[in-house]
Structure 1
Amino acid sequence: MKKALLTLIALAGAGTFSTLSQAQDAKTGDAARGKGKAQMCIGCHSIVGYQASFPEVYKVPKIAGQGAKYIVTSLQAYQKGERRHPSMRAIAGSLTDEDMADLAAFYEQQGKAEGTAAPEQLATPLPDALKDRLLACTACHGPNFSKPIDTAYPRLAGQHADYLYATLRAYTIDGNPHVGRANAVMRSQVLQESEGKKKPTFSNTELKQVAAYLSKLPGDLKTVPEPRLHKQH
């Protein structure tokens, strides 16, 4: 149980590590081109606290400051249907490999240009109730959950708790055309076979506790408002 949950948290934000090698071999993006292409993204990802209402209610993820490789990996997963979300599937489906690389470069650089960098060590100690479950995750995500060993791994510190929780829970969902994630590694962690049926391995309470702790850590992830969205008319 404990070992499984350690693996679960370490993989939680990545979603589709099966496409990791593709992300590593992806085109080198151009942040300047990506800025122009990001117009399709700003309506959700450039509004602080913006909350999606379909297919589930949660704050859209902070992507400024996320690693470029991880962003490409995520978009590839939506494009292939490995991540099920109607809006993101439609957007990703319209993108070329170059578009994905350019957008990823833009959002990675946007995070570096705004705000202060995450501290090198944890600003908030691991809570006793979660210590055993979270400590091993620093080997992949860094001692502050914001400096992973490779940018194909996600930064988790400071991400919205409701989004992290929804992400983990999505791997337990089958048969829903709008919600779910099909990555085999993640599904093997959150689901167990019992009497011929698959059941969640972890309670919703456990998943919420993990998500809540990670969301309160200072990190490099940000929502950077688009200036023109705030002009007076």
Structure 2
Amino acid sequence: MKKLLLSLCTVLVASVTATTAFAQDKVGDPNAGEKKNALCVGCHGITGYHTGFPEVHKVPKISGQSAKYIVNALKAYKSGERKHPSMRGVAANLTEQDMADLAAYYANNGRLLPDPEKAAGGSEKAQELVTKGGCTTCHGENFSKPMDPAYPKIAGQHSDYLYFALKAYKTEGVNLIGRNNPIMSGVAKQFTNAELKVLADYVGSLPGQLQTVQRDRIRK
């Protein structure tokens, strides 16, 4: 399975790289992104903020995330590849330059946090599931250095959000819920929801680069 995932990841990265080179992706300006993030900080700029649809979970940490991944995620929400009403509503009004600027801002927002070269071992069950899913093949040995910046850093992400996202890759035929990604769908469908919860709890417990940088006006 790990070899199959590596092959799929390599093919997808090559495809993304070729498309990016052809399309000449926009260069983001973090200063411009800071001025465009009014709708973002309402959720992503509050430590511990929860969303209630389609289930209650913390909104993801995005400061310190790869700019390329953020752009890809926003494009997926805009196209409907990712089905989430709030995020699709936000992304629908963004130009490619807006996305690039916001991504550049969040990729450089916050302080650089140290993380190990290799993730610490979790429970025997967690290690078994990580191996079965070939998770480090794309996300890196410490889950913070993916094989390509098109893939997300996931170490230290909120575990309840990771669990929600993993389940979304298994969801089909629902108008407002689900994510269409051939690699992640194939991975997630191997596992029961209980196993996905073990994976999410393990990855979420790891140190990583991701942060929530809270807005100055609500800091105590």
TM-score range, shorter chain: 0.7 to 0.9
Percent identity, please.
47
Superposed displacement of residue 116, structure 1: 2.5
**Match in the other structure for 1:202:** 191
Distance verdict in 2 for CA 1:222–1:143, change over 3 Å: same
Could you tell me which runs of 5 or more consecutive residues in structure 2 were left unpaired when the two chains were aligned.
none
Superposed displacement of residue 56, structure 1: 2.1
Residue pair 2:162, 2:200 contacting (<8 A) in 1 also:
yes
**Match in the other structure for 1:194:** none
**Match in the other structure for 1:215:** 204
**Match in the other structure for 2:117:** 120
C-alpha distance in 2, partners of 1:79/1:65?
22
C-alpha distance in 2, partners of 1:190/1:121?
23
C-alpha distance in 1, partners of 2:183/2:96?
25
Is 1:134 matched up with 2:123?
A: no
Spell out, residue by residue over 1:178-218, the C-alpha distance to the aligned partner (whole angstroms, 9 max, x if none): 21112233334444xxxxxxxxx421111000000000000
C-alpha distance in 1, partners of 2:148/2:180?
23
What amino acid is aligned across from residue 187 of structure 1 in structure 2? S
State the TM-score, normalized to the length of structure 1.
0.81
For the aligned residue pairs, the C-alpha RMSD in angstroms reads 2.7
**Match in the other structure for 2:97:** 98
**Match in the other structure for 1:196:** none
Q: How does 1:1-233 map to 2 (within 5 A)?
A: 3=1, 7=5, 20-21=16-17, 22=19, 25-110=24-109, 113-114=110-111, 116-122=113-119, 124-135=120-131, 136-191=134-189, 201-230=190-219
Q: How many residues align?
A: 211
Distance verdict in 2 for CA 1:52–1:90, change over 3 Å: same
Q: Residue 150 of structure 1 aligns to a residue in which SS?
A: coil
Superposed displacement of residue 29, structure 1: 0.3
What amino acid is aligned across from residue 149 of structure 2 in structure 1? T
Residue pair 1:23, 1:73 contacting (<8 A) in 2 also:
no
Bigger shift: residues 72-81 or 143-152: 143-152
C-alpha distance in 1, partners of 2:96/2:142?
31
C-alpha distance in 1, partners of 2:46/2:179?
25
Q: Residue 102 of structure 1 aligns to a residue in which SS?
A: helix
Superposed displacement of residue 132, structure 1: 3.9
C-alpha distance in 2, partners of 1:164/1:18?
26
Residue pair 1:23, 1:69 contacting (<8 A) in 2 also:
no
